[in-house]
Amino acid sequence: MEIKFVERRNKASAAIAIILDEKLELSSQANEIKKETGVDLKQLIKVHNYKATPNEFLLIPTGNDKIKNIILFGVGDLKKAKLPDLIKAGASLYRKLTSHSIKEAEAYSSIATPSLLNLLLGTLLGSYRFDKYKAVKKDDKKKVRLEKLNVISERSTKLNAELNGYKNFSESVALVKDLVAEPSNVKNPITLSKICTGLSKYGLKVEVLDEAKLKSLKMNALLGVGQGSTAPSRVVVIHWNGAKTSKKKIALIGKGVTFDSGGLSLKPAGSMVTMKGDMAGAATVIGMLRMLALRKAKVNVVGVVGLVENMPDGGAQRPGDIVKSMSGQTIEILNTDAEGRLVLADILWYAQSVYKPTVMVDIATLTGAVRICLGDEFAGLLSNNDSISEQLIKAGEDTNERVWRLPLDKKYDKMIDSNIADMQNIGTPDGSAGTSIAAQFLQRFVNKVPWAHLDIGVVSENKKSPDTGLAGPTAFGMRLLNKFIEDNYES
């Protein structure tokens, strides 16, 4: 949908939305509606006992040809409202206008600019749909969605410049959601790597490492995961250098299993249904680099995503195989469905050894065990660094993409020690401490670089988002990592 600030109202507009906080202050432009149409907004508010509580929506038909509908929409007490509250309000506004078949609307508001912009961000995020594969039905033609919202302001030029940043963010979130939602008969390591190369138009430098290059780098842990697929594996490296005078660099690492059948350790059919989304971590890294470039963030970031497909053909990796990772450490494969850690092992080692980052954060749909620990309220956070952990926890609280720190411990190391290799890729057969053991495995490949692991195995998709009300991919990590970088690492 399109949102923009304009200086003057379109006199032909049939729907006017008045966005109010609990103070019920009307903008000067809104007061002009009475002069033009005879509709007294103050009287309407009084007659309907309207309080502007959070997401309070009131549509009032006016009987006036010039303005057919007046909509009052409340955001409550802005002193108490946080970013997630404003995003929720904006998404609610979109749903309410759409439910009343309003295709175009104009809005007035006297609330503070930062709050208004975050509310409009919620409207943009709430308008997201992934329906390109739906056949058009007769009933669909009758549905009207909000397509255009003009916000009246005398400072329209300045506010539109600020709004562009919010639009860039919502578009990057939409890209992440699209990538996760795309079916795996369309999405594979090759097609996804081509999408990455297309990001170069935003000023990003993109490198694609093919299988020949990966073999020369001895990324055998990653390659072993993809050897049962007809789609060759890829690693994509995306660079954003927005602080050229700084030597500091952040590495964002993403697991990109474009479909995870479990390999020869085949998943049950019910567990396989959502596995087209096993590349949500990689999608988030891709979206983050796009967004950082568009907002010209003053920070240096390298994104590394490992793209593989885990399939069970005659050439697939077997339980009992031993592979030698890029680090030189050997891994006994006891379960081919514990594949994400094998992908991350090689790209974590590659990122820390080649790019010498100040800090590394990997994000991955790594374990189902994280659901047992945290349900769907938090992502798992495991780290070798207290400072980074505190920064991520705070960023999560500020953005409502919350993380909870789980333990790493030397005793978990003993659970992945192998009798015939340096380590094995799973711990105990009963799956005890599965999330911590997976991260303990990854820690062997970070080489003491300050590092955090985000396990988004549960929060990458949901039945209904608490912010936007949308089901499906969440793009979890976009707001979290953006805030983490903005608050702690941008110059």
CATH code of the domain covering residue 273: 3.40.630.10
Contact, 332 vs 323, CB < 8 A?
no
Assess if residue 173 is contained within a domain. no
Q: What is the reported pLDDT for 137?
A: 57
Residue 388 pLDDT exceeds 90: yes
pTM, to two decimals: 0.96
**Same domain as 240, residue 313:** yes
Instruction: Among 154, 187, 211, identify where a domain stops.
Output: 154
- Cα–Cα distances (Å) from 238 to 174, 252, 345, in that order, read 19, 10, 18
Task: State what percent of residues in the chain have pLDDT above 90.
Answer: 86
Q: What's the CA gap between 391 and 394, in Å, rounded?
A: 5
Q: What is the reported pLDDT for 429?
A: 78
Q: What is the reported pLDDT for 138?
A: 55
Residue 85 pLDDT exceeds 80: yes
Contact, 264 vs 315, CB < 8 A?
no
Q: What is the 3-state secondary structure (H, E, C) of 402-416?
A: CEEECCCCHHHHHHC
**Same domain as 293, residue 187:** yes
Beta strands in 110-223 (DSSP E): 148-152, 205-209
Residue 324 pLDDT exceeds 80: yes
**Same domain as 135, residue 257:** no
**Same domain as 323, residue 234:** yes
Q: What is the reported pLDDT for 192?
A: 98
Assess if residue 120 is contained within a domain. yes
**Same domain as 189, residue 125:** no
Q: What's the CA gap between 22 and 444, in Å, rounded?
A: 53
**Same domain as 253, residue 194:** yes
Q: CA nearest 148: which of 339, 18, 17, 338?
A: 17
Q: What's the CA gap between 269 and 260, in Å, rounded?
A: 12
Assess if residue 162 is contained within a domain. no
Assess if residue 163 is contained within a domain. no
Q: What is the reported pLDDT for 143?
A: 74
For residues 166-183, average pLDDT = 98
Pairing status of strand 148-152 against strand 2-6 = parallel
Residues 6+ apart with CB under 8 A from 4: 150, 151, 156, 160, 163
CA 331 to mean position of chain CA atoms: 31
How sure is the predictor about 467, in pLDDT bands with cuts at 50, 70 and 90?
confident
What's the total number of domains in the chain? Answer: 2
Q: What's the CA gap between 481 and 285, in Å, rounded?
A: 9
Highest mean pLDDT out of 2-16, 52-66, 334-348:
334-348
Pick the range with the lowest mean pLDDT from 303-317, 460-474, 475-489. Answer: 460-474
**Same domain as 135, residue 11:** yes
**Domain membership of residue 482 as a residue range:** 179-488
CATH code, domain with 95: 3.40.220.10
- Cα–Cα distances (Å) from 346 to 87, 202, 304, 337, 480, in that order, read 37, 28, 11, 17, 25
Catalytic center residues: 267, 341
Assess if residue 401 is contained within a domain. yes
Pairing status of strand 205-209 against strand 234-241 = antiparallel
Q: Exposed, middle or buried: residue 38 (CB in 10 Å: 0-12, 13-18, 19+)? A: exposed
**Same domain as 183, residue 150:** no
**Same domain as 92, residue 238:** no
Q: What is the reported pLDDT for 431?
A: 80
Reduced to 3 states, what is the DSSP secondary structure of residue 11? Answer: coil
Residue 193 pLDDT exceeds 90: yes
Residue indicated by tokens 């062997």? 444
**Same domain as 201, residue 66:** no
Q: Residue type at 466?
A: P
Assess if residue 78 is contained within a domain. yes
Residue 296 pLDDT exceeds 80: yes
Assess if residue 294 is contained within a domain. yes
Q: What's the CA gap between 116 and 217, in Å, rounded?
A: 50
Q: What is the reported pLDDT for 140?
A: 57
Q: What's the CA gap between 363 and 439, in Å, rounded?
A: 11
**Same domain as 134, residue 186:** no
Q: What is the pLDDT of residues 347-383, one digit of tens each?
A: 999 999 999 999 999 999 999 999 999 999 999 999 9
Q: Which tokens hold the place of 175? A: 């890209």
Quickly count helices (H) and strands (E) in the chain. Answer: 16, 19
Q: Residue type at 306?
A: G
For residues 384-412, average pLDDT = 97
Q: What is the pLDDT of residues 121-144, one digit of tens each?
A: 999 999 999 999 988 755 555 578
How sure is the predictor about 194, in pLDDT bands with cuts at 50, 70 and 90?
very high
Q: What's the CA gap between 207 and 234, in Å, rounded?
A: 10
- Cα–Cα distances (Å) from 397 to 48, 143, 403, in that order, read 36, 37, 8
Assess if residue 112 is contained within a domain. yes
**Same domain as 187, residue 139:** no
> Where do runs of H (alpha helix) occur along 38-81?
41-47
